[in-house]
């Protein structure tokens, strides 16, 4: 259980500025810069122009999908095949957006006001937003989430450009280190953010199920991991609550 | 590449990169309408997203891509475990865990080989 949360102070009362600050001081600045340097280098190595490579960061804003897009198009794969592979890799964005938006909305929020927040939703932004938003006043949450997203996307864009220019000079050891940053930060943040039984069951289920399914050659391994892990976690949470109610009575 | 070929690349980026990716976010916007924070659907969505997230971690560590593939899976798993220990020892510091895991992986790469 986490200690009682305190309210974050917002610079000039602005949620957006608070989000920018939350982004700058986030471990994900390091992670995003590291990952996007490798994406910039990939775009350069496969012969794509710099503006095209940068646009993938701004428009797609999901590192695994970008790696698939760049490598598959670079290898001359059929467009339909590429679209399918990108779409499959990005399915995780759906439950992330569904879990995030009710946290930022007020009863008066119109749908178009959360479109930007949805576009900024990616693993890094989602984890930081889930952690920080409960401490932000509700009216300031959309701005705050957009601030985190804007900050991380800005850093990713700069890193894409830097990686594009550094492509030939990066030693293999450093590239491997940069690649290791994202899975490790995802894991540590998931552990940090886990509060309820459901979080812990989902965390462990994902770690075990996805490699197991991939190893057995089951297609759509991540989708099944999400469904099975989600159901297990949900059931565990209900069971726990049912048992607690029994004890209290 | 010709001007038309250049344009075609940007059209492809929109059609097979942006759209198949963004459709999930927009679908999420539609599905999240009218759900409140304590809804059971949110509990499930959060759990599913968490399972997929750590699923990505498991796959990246065990079936490593690119430059990471040159280190053995034992080194990658060992570095991950070390990172988790560092995270706990540093009183739940994500930064400490990530730095320790990454340095351990790079040290393993230097000692046990890799490119």
- The tens digit of pLDDT for each residue in A142-190 reads 999 999 999 999 999 999 999 999 988 888 888 888 888 888 988 998 8
> Considering the domain boundaries, does residue A89 fall inside one?
yes
B contacts of A99 (beta carbons < 8 Å): 42, 45-46, 49
Tell me, yes or no, whether A116 and A232 share the same domain. no
The structure's pTM equals 0.82
- Same-domain check for residues A187 and A237: no
Is the same domain home to B1 and B40?
A: no
Residue A4 lies in a domain: no
Sign of CA dihedral B81, A199, A153, B26: positive
Q: In percent, how much of chain A has pLDDT > 70?
A: 97
Task: Give how many domains chain A has, as a whole number.
Answer: 2
Tens of pLDDT, residues A57-113 = 999 999 888 988 998 888 888 888 889 888 888 888 999 999 999 999 988 888 899
Ranges of beta strands (E only) in chain A are none
Q: Please check whether residues A89 and A18 belong to one and the same domain.
A: yes
Q: For residue A130, what pLDDT is reported?
A: 93
Do A174 and A220 lie in one domain? The reply is no
pLDDT of residue A249: 54
Q: How confident is residue A3, by pLDDT bands cut at 50, 70 and 90?
A: very low
The answer to whether residue A235 scores a pLDDT higher than 90 is yes
Cα A147 to its chain centre, rounded Å, is 15
The SS3 call for residue A205 is helix
In whole angstroms, give the CA distance from residue B59 to residue A207: 8
pLDDT one-digit tens code per residue, B47-87: 998 998 899 899 889 988 767 888 899 999 999 999 999 99
* Residue in chain A lying closest to B60 (CA): A183
Distance of CA B43 to the CA centre of its chain: 21
pLDDT reading at B21 higher than 90: yes
Query: Would the pLDDT of A5 be above 70?
Result: no
Tell me which chain B residue has its CA closest to the CA of residue A222. B52
52-91 in A: which are within 8 Å (CB) of B? 52, 55-56, 59-60, 62, 64-67, 69, 73, 79-80, 82-84, 86-87, 90-91
The residue segments making up the domain with residue B115 are: 65-115
């Amino acid at each position: 259980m986490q200690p009682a949360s305190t309210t974050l102070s917002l610079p000039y009362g602005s949620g957006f500025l608070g989000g920018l600050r939350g982004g700058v001081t986030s471990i994900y600045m390091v992670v995003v810069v590291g990952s996007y340097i490798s994406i910039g280098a990939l775009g350069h190595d496969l012969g794509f122009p710099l503006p095209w490579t940068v646009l993938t960061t701004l428009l797609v804003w999901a590192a695994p999908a970008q790696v698939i897009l760049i490598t598959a198009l670079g290898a001359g794969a059929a467009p339909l095949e590429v679209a399918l592979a990108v779409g499959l890799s990005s399915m995780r964005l759906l439950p992330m957006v569904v879990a995030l938006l009710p946290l930022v909305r007020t009863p008066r929020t119109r749908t178009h006001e959360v479109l930007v927040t949805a576009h900024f939703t990616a693993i890094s932004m989602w984890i930081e937003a889930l952690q920080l938003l409960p401490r932000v006043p509700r009216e300031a949450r959309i701005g705050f989430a957009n601030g985190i997203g804007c900050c991380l996307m800005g850093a990713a864009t700069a890193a894409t450009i830097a990686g594009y220019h550094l492509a030939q000079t990066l030693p293999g050891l450093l590239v491997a280190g940069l690649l290791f940053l994202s899975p490790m930060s995802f894991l540590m943040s998931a552990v940090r953010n886990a509060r309820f039984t459901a979080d812990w069951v989902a965390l462990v289920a994902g770690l075990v199920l996805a490699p197991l399914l991939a190893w057995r050659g089951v297609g759509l391994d991540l989708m099944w991991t999400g469904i099975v892990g989600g159901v297990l976690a949900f059931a565990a949470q209900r069971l726990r609550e049912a048992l607690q109610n029994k004890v209290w009575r | 590449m010709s001007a038309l070929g250049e344009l075609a690349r940007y059209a492809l980026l929109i059609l097979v990169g942006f759209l198949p990716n963004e459709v999930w976010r927009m679908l999420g916007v539609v599905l999240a309408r009218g759900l409140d924070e304590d809804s059971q659907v949110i509990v499930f969505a959060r759990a599913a997203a968490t399972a997929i997230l750590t699923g990505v971690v498991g796959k990246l560590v065990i079936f490593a891509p690119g430059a990471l593939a040159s280190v053995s899976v034992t080194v990658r798993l060992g570095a991950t475990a070390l990172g988790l220990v560092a995270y706990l020892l540093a009183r739940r510091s994500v930064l400490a865990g990530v730095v320790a895991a990454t340095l351990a992986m790079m040290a393993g790469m230097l000692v046990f080989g890799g490119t």
